[in-house]
Amino acid sequence: MQTVHLAVYDTLADWEYGYLAAGVNNPEFQRTPGEFRIETVGAAADPITTLGGVTITPDITLDDVDPAASAMLVLPGAQTWDSGNDEFIDAARRFLDAGTPVAAICGATVGLARGGLLDDRAHTSNAPQQLAATGYCGADRYLDVAAVTDREVITAGAVAPIEFAREVFARLGVYDDAVLDAWYRLYAHHDPAGFLALGQQ
């Protein structure tokens, strides 16, 4: 079984990881059912409170994670990314150095920019101005799209949790191509044909 590590911290944006976590942790429709699991990881073992007021106690801490043994590090947004979460920026660098993908959405892309991890990769975020404020050197690689995958880094804006999940599913190989297409048609485009296609799997 492969473990996808979902970072958790105070003011975590609840809506940004929901589709991703459900798809990774739910064996239904997966190419290899039960191949993946979600494990929450915190900077410390203390419970965190999400932006929606939900309390989450991390399964493990960053000190317990071996990046080389992980399938991916997922960094959702939070109100703390403009100047905080340095432990997770350092973790993202360790994961990438180990060849393990990192997926960041919303404010987490600001953290990657602050850490210099978007300087040489195509990427996106909530707006180019938000990343420019970090002083990073990758502005010419910014793409005005919902989600981007470049090598081992996935980025997305806050209003693109479905596209974010799709990129993660594709990178991990959670679903085969037909299922991923049906899933995206259903959730992104509200296309009932996507529901019917999934029902035939």
* pLDDT number for residue 22: 96
Instruction: Calculate the dihedral angle through the C-alpha atoms of 181, 185, 191, 192, rounding to the nearest 10 degrees.
Output: 40
201 pLDDT higher than 90: no
58 near 42, Cβ under 8 Å?
yes
Q: Which two tokens stand for residue 31?
A: 């190419």
User: Average pLDDT, whole number, for the chain?
Assistant: 96
Looking at residues 152-178, what average pLDDT do you find?
Answer: 97
**Complete DSSP assignment for 119-164:** TTS-B--S-HHHHHTTT-S-GGGB--SSEEEETTEEEE-TT-HHHH
105 pLDDT higher than 90: yes
Q: What is the pLDDT of residues 28-48, one digit of tens each?
A: 999 999 999 999 999 999 999
Q: What is the C-alpha separation between 145 and 156, in angstroms, rounded?
A: 8
Q: Select from 125, 130, 128 the least CA-distant residue to 139.
A: 128
164 pLDDT higher than 90: yes
* pLDDT number for residue 180: 96
Secondary structure (3-state) at 58: coil
- The count of residues in the chain is 201
* pLDDT number for residue 179: 95
Residues catalogued as catalytic: 106
pTM: 0.96
Cβ-count burial of 99 within 10 angstroms (0-12 exposed, 13-18 middle, 19+ buried)?
exposed
CATH number of 2-175: 3.40.50.880, 3.40.50.720, 3.40.50.620, 3.30.1450.10? 3.40.50.880
Query: Given the structure tokens 């920019």, which residue do they identify?
Result: 113
* pLDDT number for residue 124: 98
